Structure formats: C-alpha cells, structure tokens
Amino acid sequence: MNYDVSKQLISASDLIYKGTHEIPLDADFTLPDYCPDIGRILKCRVNPNVISRNISGDRLNAEGSANIVLLYTDLEKNTVRCYKTEMPFSHSFDLKNSPEQAAAIFDIKIEYINCRAVSPRRIDIHGAFSLKALVHGKKNTDVTTEISGSDIEKQKVNTLVSELTALAQQQFTISEVLSLGSEKPAIEFIVRSEAKFYGLESSCADSKVNIKGFITIKILYMSDIETGKLENTEYDIPVNQVIDAPGVNDESNCLITPEIIFHEEKISSDSEDNNSLINAEIKLMFTVLAFEDKETEVISDVYSTEYEADIVKNEVNLTRLSNIVNELVSQKSLIESENKILKVIDIWSDYLNVSYSSKNSESAFVGKAGICILALDTDSSPFYLEREVEFKKELQEQISVIPSKIQFSTEISSIGYKLTGDNTLNLKIEIKITANFFENFKIFVVTEVTADETKLKPKDTAALTVYYASSGENLWDIAKRYGTTVDKIKDENDIDFETISGDRAILIPMN
C-alpha cells in the first residue's frame, strides 16, 4: 500500500558557477598626428568592462572592451595630455550544466600594467586583467508537507526558510545632454571621465522592483589645447527604473547589484556654436535577487499504527536569511607626496576590493581602495601619485550566526581631501556596504511511505501497559515503539508535554 505524499517546492539562490579567467593585454600603438610628443608618462589607465553577456546552454559568453587611457605630459610645454584607444575582448565560461534561469555578474581586476614610451610617439603596453564570473541561479528542493492515511502518525517540524522568489537582470540605456553653463569655459578635449551609480533605493510590489538613485558623471577636460588648461565638471543624473521581477511582492527583501557596463561622453555645440554641451550615454544593468521568509511545516518522521511500514527519508539543505547589513564605512588616511603640492587637479578611485572574513567570533569586511591623484607641484608641473587605502569594518555585534553564504555589493560613495601641508593630503573616503547573510541548515524529510497490509503490527492483548520512561525521552519515540499515538498517551496520563522530565512510569494505551 502506497500513501499519498504531498510536497512543496522551495526555491533558494544557488551559486551555479564561480570562475576566473586572465586576459592578456598587449598593445603597441603610435600617437596620431593631433597628439603632441610624449615628455613623461603620468599614468596608463585600463578600464575593462563587460558590455554584453548571455548564457547559451552550458556556456556563459562575455564580450567587452578595455578602454586604454594614456595620461602624459607633452615634450614641448609640459602640460597634461591624453590619448585614448580601445581593445575588445571576449571569453566563454563552461558552466558544466544548462541553467533554466540564471544571472551573471562580473568582477574585473587589473593584475598588472607595464607601459613605456619606446619613442616620443610610440607606446608599448603589456599587462593582464582577471575576469571573474559569478552566475546566480535557482535551486529547487522538494519537502514533504502532508501524508494521507487514517493509520498514519506524522511528526511535523516548523522551519523558517528564505525562499528565492525572483531572479532578474535587466539593462537600461540612459541618454542625457549636459550643459556646462555660463560659468565654465568650453570644452576642446575630454581628458578623463567616470560614471558611477550612487544612492540606491528600492521598493517591491506586484512583480515589479522600482529602483531609484543617481549616476554621477565626473569629467576632467581641456579648455585650451594650446596651453593644456584643465577644468573639472560634475553632473548628477537621476535614475528611476522599474524592473520586471515575477514573484516579487511588498514582503520581499531584495539584494540589488547595479553595474555601469558602458558610458561615453561626446562634445557637442550649442546654438551659438560653442562646445558647451556633452552628450552622455550610459548603459546600466541591475541584477535583482529577491527573498521572502516563509514558515514551512515539514514531515520529519512517520509511522503506521496498524502495519509494518517502510519509510524513506532524505536529508535536504535549506537556507534562511539570518542578517541584513547596511553599513557606511568612513576611512581617513594621510597621503604623502614626494612632490610639493600646489593644486589637486583630479582625484578618483581605480578599484575597490572588498572581502568578508570571520575568525574567532570576529567578523568584518576588509578591503582596499586604489586612490589616484593628478596634481600640480609648486612649479606648476603636472605629476601623478597613487596610493592604496586599507579599511576594516567589524560586525561581530550584528551577526547572530556564522553565515554559510554572503551576498553583498559595495560602492565608494565619496572621496574627500584637504591639503594639510606642502606635500600632504588628509584623505577621507566613504564606502557603502550592503550585505545579506545566509545560514544553511539541514533537516531530514520523509519522502516515501509504503506498507504491506498483510503484515499487521503485533498488539498486546492488554488494554494498558506500564512503561518506565527515562528523563529526556520523547513521547513520539515511545508512541512509535508501541504503535499508538502521542495524543492517546497524553490523554491517558493527563500530561501536556512532549519530553519526559525526570524518570517516571507512564501508561501506554494499546488499542
């Protein structure tokens, strides 16, 4: 005889793939005619971005472009100059299986860059960057919630799980025309630009995620090609996008990862033919993982009061969200320069590497931020310096359990500085960390029950039997042993507890 088993599907997030591939970067180019000869190389910056990604079968295909920006001083006037070029790249990752629903996030790290001027007009670049791919998907687990049968006794366990209710990834293109305004001189050449997403806010309802924030575009430009005069300008572009995420509701907790996968700024003329407009195009991608806490009643054990039954149990892995952390880390650092500083032209971060560590009951986010500074010395000669700022944010008071899995995103929300001497800067950076901490746990679940109706359980002819129970014994185990029910034992002995406290005799009803 087979008993009808009812099951419930629980979805959890699963890291389907995690892998890194190193991509070599070798370039040899000659400056075009419009670029002056090289006097000194200040900085060779390489900014790789994955522009398109798709999962086809068991392959993750990534295509991107490494933007190479050469900052240098010209040989004749010792002013800051810039040359830009691009190097396309692509790579396919073997996922081992074909996921039904998945989203890929990339983390790119520059391993090393060697740049030298072979001649005043020729540049040789050798380096490499690592392309790290994280593919998130769904892992479905069946748990038994009901078994039918008048002779069946069931032990049920209430368990709290964090179910993955939605997994979505969507790309948007934002186009804006930015004006310098009357207080800024016109643009002749864009030396450096960056675009970053800040101020993430979200709300969920009816299979939609509304995401708000803003993109800050910072531009260092040349207002006079002849003199190399530099100017800074900055813009905030509001972002308000709605992402389709079937399964999301107002009870969902969402982890959102924003990525600017492409941005381009082009000079444009206004109605008076002045180069005072900037056409900005930004491609922005959001990855959403939405979770919802649900209480699920699972059958962990079962027996028949009438027949000898065969029971199959499986151990299942479940996940619950244990902590949510939103932290703003403020880190101060003293930057010393070999050159005396007259003026800081530009300051930015080239990278932010953050990891989570847990040791001896201490847990913390630790990281390094690469800070780049372009400045003038007291002789008005441009120079460049780069420093690595380390930071640590301890979280031991906030983490209730040791996490089995962490999903987090980070961003540098601001970089500030103050000149405190001829060659020193007081630097202050703020890093925003958003993290979900998950606890994995295991439970045994009954998956199948069968009984042979010809094999009845032996029954004692007496109506009652006396059992001498030891302290700590469970009524379920006693009832299962004698083929009766927990409720009958409770009624017969006028008790309402599940576990025996202290050695004692109890009466076991046998029919």
pLDDT band at 243 (very low <50, low <70, confident <90, very high): very high
- Containing 234, the helix (H) or strand (E) segment is strand 229-244
**For residue range 98-157, what is the model confidence (pLDDT) as tens digits?**
888 899 999 999 999 999 999 999 999 999 999 999 999 988 888 999 999 889 999 999
Helix (DSSP H) and strand (DSSP E) numbers for the chain? 2, 20
**For residue range 461-505, what is the model confidence (pLDDT) as tens digits?**
778 899 999 999 999 999 998 889 999 999 999 998 989 988 899
Q: What is the rounded distance in angstroms from the CA atom of residue 105 to the CA atom of residue 50?
A: 9
Q: What angle do CA 213, 215, 219 make, to 5 degrees?
A: 160
Residue 202 makes CB contacts below 8 A (sequence gap 6+) with 209, 210, 211, 212, 254, 256
Mean pLDDT of the chain: 90
What structural domains does the chain harbor? 1-148 (no CATH), 161-294 (no CATH), 458-509 (3.10.350.10)
Q: What is the rounded distance in angstroms from the CA atom of residue 227 to the CA atom of residue 368?
A: 37
**For residue range 299-339, what is the model confidence (pLDDT) as tens digits?**
999 999 888 889 999 998 888 888 888 888 999 999 999 99
Q: Please give the structure tokens belonging to residue 311.
A: 């029971």
pTM here? 0.84
